[in-house]
Amino acid sequence: MLTLTTYKFKEFASKEETAKLMELFAEHGAAEGTISHYVFADRSGGIVIAENDSAMPGYETSLTYSEYLTMETKVMLSIEEAVPAILASLV
């Protein structure tokens, strides 16, 4: 299962809260199955693309960081996977 998670940093986080978030990230590292992780240049958040057989790694990660971030995860299909279903739905 390929997922795209968009996260946003808590607004008006103090330096202490930001330091705690960085400590958590240093302790836990990248989420299981992470393919790529980008941070938005405007400092508002970022995205993580991951692949796992289960939703559990993403759920565990969201529990770890929920005090500091809001997250939204979407399950993705490749275009090669999606097109046959799209074409079949048109019949």
pLDDT in tens, the chain (91 residues): 999 999 999 888 899 999 999 999 999 988 999 999 999 999 999 999 999 999 999 999 999 999 999 999 999 999 999 999 999 999 9
Identify the pLDDT of residue 77: 96
Domain 2-89: CATH superfamily is ACT domain (3.30.70.260)
pLDDT of residue 12: 87
Q: How far apart are CA 50 and CA 89, in angstroms?
A: 28
pLDDT at 16: 95
pTM of the model: 0.87
- Residue 90 CA, chain-centre distance (Å), reads 32
Domain boundaries, the chain: 2-89
